Amino acid sequence: MDLITRENPARVDEVVGSVPVTDPAAVDAAVRRADDAFRDWSGLPVAERVAALRHGADTVAARLEELAPLLARESGKPLADSRGEIGFAVTFLRWVCDEAPAVLAATEIDDDAGRLVVRRKPYGVVGCVTPWNAPVILAVLKLGPALAAGNTVVLKPSPLAPLTVSEVAAALPAVQVVHGGAETGRALAGHPLVRKVAFTGGDAAGREIAATAGAMITPAVLELGGNDPAVFLPDFALSGADYERLVMASFATGGQVCMAAKRLYVPRARIAEFTEAYLAAAERVLVVGDPLDPGVTMGPVISAAAAARIRALVADAAGGTVTPLGRSAPGHDPASGYFVTPCLVTGLDDHAPLVAQEQFGPAVPLLAYDTEGEVLARANAGELGLAASVWSADEERAFALAGRLSAGFVFVNTHNRTGMSLRAPFGGVKRSGYGREYGREGLLEYVQSAVVHVPAAFRPGGPGMAPGAYPGGVHDGTPRAAGTGRPPP
């Protein structure tokens, strides 16, 4: 049996665990098991489904102190962040349980126009393909709404972080887990019994998943990358704590976050002031080392390939000035794993790869601008539009600029996870994907509207309608009385 073996990216000679590779025949079997389970699961009242889901959330919560070190070891995420991610996943699951009954309830209108019932029906089997950078929460964002809505799920985690999320999925009802790389993902997304696909990940994999699902006419939710700008208006007023929060908005999880602040735009007149305060804040809060060490706030990147790619982007920053950030934890040995020194890069133009591309790592460009119109055009440049932020002492001014940014989610006076809300739908525009997670919209992604309707004309005692009549009383260009097919008096 082929195995995926996961090493600790902070100590690459340490094997954290392994999972068996699921070949296409085994993917087919998993999907068929999920399809067989769909009738019973979807037939349960929503109250019973959310009760089972809530029990699963409680089970995960009870294991948090066991699961958090496993997540830190397999992903390189600091232990405190690993606890936070798993705890937040539990919070989200409980929020789904609270909200789902009302959001998924049927609506009925019975009035002079007729009787209309709109029910929310699940798709069937949902295939979920999830990434490594936040493996638990990014899986749960799909599992929770899909399961509450009555779907069954087949989940394929990333082979770079398959261990913790598999434990979490095992605590939830109606979930099958498969493991592997691109071949496994294709077999899942292209299976004829998969009725919806949900994917979070990079552009190349997203295109393949979308093409595979599209060939089967299978709808999809895609949350792809972002090259997210943070725009500081001339009146921005940041405290030391604000700068610390901004630093972590870029460097949490080693900068490997789709909605991290990846381009910092600051008025030219305030660039020196900003840089000094930013460097000081980074020195206070950015501590690089082993994720299991107390006080560490940034661990390694996920793989040797990721480290090489990020170093190449920084090395290619011709004409720029690279300033290392933060400090190392006592006794830290950078050679023990895939560690990349975090840095701020100044003096680049907008065509530099570090600016124009999503770096997805601990290197951030700081860019000067002169006018609001200029910074708006520069922030909106490129094919990605996931998130952005605007920072200003004037909230109305910030909201006005935010409304002109090409992003699916704009934070004001914060960025990254500190700006998220369970009630706020999240997703991208342009090449950053389609569909939404979180909020009411995130729940509704996993149901289809199913309508039962009788117009008033066809209810007992109704007047009927002429053959071929259009609703609303218009037929062949001749005005008609609504619902009668006859000319109005």
Active site residues: 223, 258
Residue type, 407: A
Contact in structure between 98 and 206 (CB atoms under 8 Å): no
Q: What angle do CA 69, 200, 202 make, to 5 degrees?
A: 100
Question: How many Cβ atoms are within 10 Å of 293's Cβ, its own excluded?
Answer: 17
CA distances from 253 to 79, 287, 319 (A): 11, 12, 28
Question: Any residues with CB less than 8 A from the CB of 441 and at least 6 apart, and which?
Answer: 425
Q: Cα-atom radius of gyration of the chain, to the nearest Å?
A: 25
Residue 123's closest CA among 173, 197, 187, 56? 197
Residue 393's closest CA among 261, 228, 239? 239
Residue 365's closest CA among 463, 163, 268, 229? 229
Contact in structure between 412 and 399 (CB atoms under 8 Å): yes
Secondary structure tally for the chain: helices H, strands E: 15, 24
Report the distance separating Cα 352 and Cα 350, nearest Å: 6
| CB half-sphere exposure, 360, CA atoms < 13 A | 18
SS3 of 286-339: CEECCCCCCCCCECCCCCHHHHHHHHHHHHCCCCCEEEECCEECCCCCHHHCCC
Report the distance separating Cα 361 and Cα 345, nearest Å: 13
Structural tokens at position 281: 């804040």
Question: How many Cβ atoms are within 10 Å of 8's Cβ, its own excluded?
Answer: 24
Report the distance separating Cα 248 and Cα 388, nearest Å: 15
Residue 36's closest CA among 197, 219, 213, 193? 193
235: phi > 0 → left, psi -120 to 50 → alpha, else beta; which? alpha
